[in-house]
Structure 1
Amino acid sequence: MDSSFINIAIVVVYLLAMLAFGWWGKSRTKNNSDFLVAGRRLGPMLYTGTMAAVVPGGASTVGGVGLGYKFGISGMWLVVAIGSGVLLLPFVLNAAGGLDGIRARVDASFFQLDGIGVQTIITYFVVYTLGLLIGQDIWQRVFTAKTPKVARWGGATAGIYCVLYGVAGALIGLAARVALPNIDVKALGKDVVYAEVATHILPIGIGGLVMAAAVAAMMSTASGALIAAATVARADVVPFVASWFGKTINTDDTENPEHDVKANRYWVLGLGIVAVLISMGAQDVVVALTIAYDILVGGLLVAILGGLVWKRGTGIAAAWSMAVGSVLTLALLIAYATGIIPSEDGVYANDPIYWGLGASLLVYVVVSLLTPPTEPEVREAWDRRVAGAVTEELPLEVHAVASH
């Protein structure tokens, strides 16, 4: 039987199993707490698993191996900054002749930790580490923990796991550089390296499991991101936009919790379709991740941190800061990607995020100083919310600025 057929069959069986588990989980979901944050009842082991699952995704698993193929060991830095896990290491290193065999057959730069570029490494930490700190999908997983102690222990464990996975992914890609030297990454892209390793190096069946694992990594991250996006869209964006037209929308159906869950599922479905359409046009998973995180950090970081640490900051300033930072970052990304601004790095250029952050900070400070201070009752409600002592609905000015 053809080995590729067996591998594909394993992936199909995995997907069918996931659909079955999803249907089973649907019957156990009774309210928004169950649907969005697992009822806030996860213990140390399950919490560690769910936190580790939401971080490693397509960029970590497939993209990380591709970076290792292109840059060597320094390709780990993107994945170290955002996380990933150990998967193919034993099989691929054997095929490449071990570390000594690899070292003898590649340039010395492939074993240099800064081979990808010091500035690029710094930018990875600015974009991805800070991006994770403010990401709605990550915070939503944090709230699944039963206690703060579980959250701290699980977060530390998942973080160590992610760092180790970053190193492993780079080593796998580096080994593939030796074992499969003829992959045309210029024509096909770096993302094909993972599939080539699973297809041509791993034993029949094991390759299918590895492909299914890549799908699992993508699905676990995508599910968290979609639920987070649906939460923000339904609970924050829609009421905020409606307020421009003098309308008030209450998104919490306390009388019928199951109806509330159903509405959230529709939002997840709609945004999922949009995400699929976008992903079909994306040729490189790391490019897609770079664009997304650049916009996230360039637009939201200053507003979120400003709301947490600067009492003089205002909601209007946060809104303008987010708008200016996001638009400028996106405009510069387009300019670099299309060659309007000449650069060998293209969309990977470091400048867009720094200009976006700088503009966002300047606008936040200036507009805050030019607008009236936040009303005392709004400030008090915000301080209580940050301290975890408030459950009532906040004014739209606060609620729209920091949904999590």
Structure 2
Amino acid sequence: MNILDTIVLLLYFGVLVIIGIVGVNKVKSKKDFLLAGSRLGYFTHVGCLAAVIIGGAATMGTTTLGYNYGISGFWFVSMMGLGIAALGLFVVNKIGGYEVFTISQLLGKRFGEGTQLISAIVTAIYTLMVVVTQVIGMGNVIHVLLGWPLIPSMAIGGGIVLFYTILGGMWSITLTDIIQFVVMTIGVFFIMFPYSIVNVGGLSALFHSVPTGHQELTNIGWDRIFQYFLLYFFGLIVSQDIWQRVFTAKNQKVMKSSAISAGLYSVFYAVALSIVGMCAFILLPNLGDSQSAFTSLALEILPPGLLGLVLASVCSALMSNASGAIFASSTLITNDIIKVYFNKDMNDKDIIRTSRFVILGLGVLSIIFSIWIQNILVALDMAYAILSGAIFVPLIIGLYWKRVTSQAAFYSIIASTLVIFVTFMIYGITSTLPIIYGLFTGIIVIVGLTLLTPVDKYKFNKSKTKNYPGMIEKNSSNY
């Protein structure tokens, strides 16, 4: 990198720090800190949702898949896009009326505190693993650009995100997301994609130069496509970092329309980066580590100034996803565990202060896990396997089947989580089987225990649920 590109990156990081400081002044209540006051309109909300979907794993991972498998690498992020579109189409109308901050809080309103606790723990593990993927990505970017050792690079990247997230909470995250969405869109669609195509002689020349398999939509393999469907389609529907962004919208109409729009954006983003990965395959055929395909290609083909902007777009994707995930994890721990079980009398100021300490602790923990795993796609697969396999079934069935009991949902989450971790140890963390076994276990347990519950007992539980202290009466008809 030359001095101009370095200045562009440093200016970008400086803007993020300033936004973190500005965000502090906007935080007046718990709702401001956790949901940015729930005031976002359509355009800002689309940007925030797209920014949290398109993280470092999505950007660098899709380019890696394009390098290794060709155009079929688009399935990875496309399944995320389809998942958030499905959230907008089928789930938002069920959750939009509830004044909740987390998925587990909603499950707690439906099934009681026990289910809220276990779902909060499982979802917090998922969001922590998402942070790990982004820290790994940031470490790889800094490592490639500056030649620093990978471990210190991860620590520096994670530290920048921690700074502005701790200061301003969701307001700082929202402000940075909007900037990051713009930078990310310009960097990928208007700079990296066209420059890559030009350097290989055009799209026609590209598809004539790559192996035949790279031109096929299913080259990545039906088993991998099915794995992405299980992990990311289901996972995005019940992802806490996505839900927390959804709740920042000013009304249910904005929630629905922006979720669908962000899903479509993700599909186009996936196609563009798969093609960029194919260009890297042609221009850098002897690349030692395909995880660095994006940054290595940028260094190879982009002129000074534009290189700094594109690399800022990669950092944008990484930081946006990391800040959202770590904030979601801290919200779960503070709102659904500490406040419910350790300090029920916490006021807004206590919650904000506790959240900041939790964010700091989770940030340190995520850096430690990043150093241990060091592989973006493996870490992301683990995260979504835990989430999709354990939380998807009780949440969706609970929303649409009125008879589901509290005990059935509670034991469904516990059984699915145990099965996933055991099968991870048996089949390895890259296997599709843990999530399949987790989903089937969840279905069998929740359906079986519900059907075994006598109807009279169910009616009694239902009447109790209507009077549950946390339930919002105006929406009790949803259940």
Q: TM-score, normalised by structure 1?
A: 0.84
User: What letter matches 2:302 in structure 1?
Assistant: L
| Cα pair distance change 1:269/1:301, threshold 3 Å | same
**Which stretch has the larger CA shift, 142-151 or 378-387?**
378-387
User: What letter matches 2:27 in structure 1?
Assistant: T
Confirm or deny: 8 A CA contact 2:394 2:409 kept in the other structure.
yes
- Report how far residue 386 of structure 1 moved: 8.0
Q: Tell me which residue corresponds to 1:368.
A: 450
Q: 2:466 aligns with which of 380, 385, 393?
A: 380
Alpha-carbon distance between aligned partners in 2 of 1:336 and 1:95, rounded to the nearest angstrom:
42
Q: Is 1:7 aligned to residue 5 of structure 2? A: yes
Q: Tell me which residue corresponds to 2:59.
A: 61
Q: 2:426 aligns with which of 329, 335, 340?
A: 335
- Report how far residue 7 of structure 1 moved: 3.5
- Report how far residue 260 of structure 1 moved: 2.7
Q: Is 1:166 aligned to residue 166 of structure 2? A: no
Structure-to-structure mapping, 1:38-49, within 5 angstroms: 38-49=36-47
Structure-to-structure mapping, 1:280-291, within 5 angstroms: 280-291=371-382
Alpha-carbon distance between aligned partners in 2 of 1:305 and 1:299, rounded to the nearest angstrom:
11
Q: Is 1:237 aligned to residue 330 of structure 2? A: no
Alpha-carbon distance between aligned partners in 2 of 1:224 and 1:378, rounded to the nearest angstrom:
35
Per the alignment, in what secondary structure is the counterpart of residue 359 of structure 1? Answer: helix
Alpha-carbon displacement from aligned partner over 1:267-325 (angstroms, at most 9, x marks no partner): 22222222222222232211111110011011111111232122332222222211221
Q: TM-score, normalised by structure 2?
A: 0.71
Confirm or deny: 8 A CA contact 1:235 1:251 kept in the other structure.
no
- Report how far residue 57 of structure 1 moved: 0.2
Alpha-carbon distance between aligned partners in 1 of 2:309 and 2:376, rounded to the nearest angstrom:
21
Per the alignment, in what secondary structure is the counterpart of residue 217 of structure 2? Answer: coil
User: What letter matches 2:343 in structure 1?
Assistant: I
Confirm or deny: 8 A CA contact 1:333 1:352 kept in the other structure.
yes
Alpha-carbon distance between aligned partners in 2 of 1:287 and 1:386, rounded to the nearest angstrom:
40
Per the alignment, in what secondary structure is the counterpart of residue 181 of structure 1? Answer: coil
Alpha-carbon distance between aligned partners in 1 of 2:2 and 2:418, rounded to the nearest angstrom:
44
Confirm or deny: 8 A CA contact 2:241 2:328 kept in the other structure.
yes
Alpha-carbon distance between aligned partners in 2 of 1:22 and 1:137, rounded to the nearest angstrom:
19
Q: 1:352 aligns with which of 431, 434, 439?
A: 434
- Report how far residue 22 of structure 1 moved: 0.6
Confirm or deny: 8 A CA contact 2:405 2:461 kept in the other structure.
no
User: What letter matches 2:13 in structure 1?
Assistant: L
Confirm or deny: 8 A CA contact 1:47 1:145 kept in the other structure.
yes
Q: Is 1:183 aligned to residue 252 of structure 2? A: no
Question: How many residues are matched?
Answer: 367
Per the alignment, in what secondary structure is the counterpart of residue 42 of structure 1? Answer: coil
What do you get for the CA RMSD once the two structures are aligned?
2.4
- Report how far residue 351 of structure 1 moved: 1.7
- Report how far residue 349 of structure 1 moved: 2.6
Confirm or deny: 8 A CA contact 1:60 1:82 kept in the other structure.
no
Q: Tell me which residue corresponds to 2:368.
A: 277
Alpha-carbon displacement from aligned partner over 1:104-134 (angstroms, at most 9, x marks no partner): 2211110111111123212212220111111
Alpha-carbon distance between aligned partners in 2 of 1:127 and 1:163, rounded to the nearest angstrom:
16
Alpha-carbon displacement from aligned partner over 1:228-248 (angstroms, at most 9, x marks no partner): 1111111223356x4xxxxx6
User: What letter matches 1:142 in structure 2?
Assistant: V
| Cα pair distance change 1:8/1:299, threshold 3 Å | farther
Alpha-carbon distance between aligned partners in 1 of 2:302 and 2:261, rounded to the nearest angstrom:
29
Confirm or deny: 8 A CA contact 2:466 2:473 kept in the other structure.
no
Confirm or deny: 8 A CA contact 1:40 1:146 kept in the other structure.
yes
Q: Tell me which residue corresponds to 1:22.
A: 20
1 or 2, which has the higher helix percentage?
2
Q: 2:306 aligns with which of 195, 199, 206?
A: 206
Confirm or deny: 8 A CA contact 2:193 2:272 kept in the other structure.
yes
Structure-to-structure mapping, 1:176-325, within 5 angstroms: 176-184=280-288, 188=289, 190-238=290-338, 242=341, 249-250=343-344, 252-253=346-347, 257-325=348-416
Confirm or deny: 8 A CA contact 1:234 1:251 kept in the other structure.
no
Alpha-carbon distance between aligned partners in 2 of 1:375 and 1:317, rounded to the nearest angstrom:
12
Structure-to-structure mapping, 1:88-167, within 5 angstroms: 88-167=192-271
Alpha-carbon distance between aligned partners in 2 of 1:122 and 1:102, rounded to the nearest angstrom:
28
Alpha-carbon distance between aligned partners in 2 of 1:293 and 1:234, rounded to the nearest angstrom:
22
**Which stretch has the larger CA shift, 205-214 or 35-44?**
205-214
Confirm or deny: 8 A CA contact 1:72 1:115 kept in the other structure.
yes
User: What letter matches 2:344 in structure 1?
Assistant: N
| Cα pair distance change 1:203/1:334, threshold 3 Å | farther
Alpha-carbon displacement from aligned partner over 1:337-362 (angstroms, at most 9, x marks no partner): 3xxxxxxxxx4332221111111221
Identity within the alignment, % = 34
- Report how far residue 182 of structure 1 moved: 0.9
**Which stretch has the larger CA shift, 97-106 or 51-60?**
97-106
- Report how far residue 82 of structure 1 moved: 1.6
User: What letter matches 1:31 in structure 2?
Assistant: S
- Report how far residue 385 of structure 1 moved: 5.0
- Report how far residue 214 of structure 1 moved: 1.1
Alpha-carbon distance between aligned partners in 2 of 1:97 and 1:385, rounded to the nearest angstrom:
61
Confirm or deny: 8 A CA contact 1:299 1:360 kept in the other structure.
yes
With CA pairs under 8 Å and 6+ residues apart, which has the higher RCO, 1 or 2? 2
Note the residue ranges of structure 1 that are not aligned, 5 or more in a row.
Answer: 243-247, 338-346, 391-397, 399-404
User: What letter matches 2:461 in structure 1?
Assistant: E
